[in-house]
Amino acid sequence: MLDLNASTLDGPEGPVLSVRWTYATDGIAPDRIRTIADRFTAALTELVRRHEEPGFAGHSPGDFPVALDQHEITELEAAIPALDGVLPLTPLQHGLAFHALTVEPGADPYVVQLELEISGPLDPVRLRAAAGAVVDRHANLRAGFRRLTTGRLVQYTAADAGPEWTEHDLRAGRDAPATEALSALVTADRVRPFAPDRPPLLRFTLIRTADDRWRLLFTSHHLLLDGWSAPLLLTDLFDAYAGRPRSAAAPSPTTRAGSPTATARPPKPPGAPPSTGSPNPRSPPPPTPLPPPWSPRRRPPSSTPPSPPPSRTVPAPPEPP
8 Å CB contact between 242 and 318: yes
What are 27-65's pLDDT values in tens digits? 888 899 899 999 999 998 888 887 776 656 678 888 888
CA angle 314, 277, 292 (to 5 degrees): 35
What are 151-181's pLDDT values in tens digits? 899 999 998 888 999 999 998 755 555 788 8
Domain at 70-242, CATH from 3.30.559.10, 3.40.1440.10, 2.30.42.10, 3.30.1490.20: 3.30.559.10
Long-range contacts at 254-257 (CB < 8 A, ≥ 24 apart): 254/286, 255/284, 255/286, 255/287, 255/313, 256/313, 256/315, 256/316
CA angle 163, 315, 254 (to 5 degrees): 150
Sequence spans of domains, the chain: 2-50, 70-242
pLDDT recorded at residue 47: 81
The sign one gets for the Cα dihedral 35, 41, 44, 45 is negative
Q: Which residues pair with 116 in a beta bridge?
A: 216, 264
Cα dihedral 296, 298, 304, 308 in deg (nearest 10): 20
What's this model's pTM, rounded to 2 decimal places? 0.64
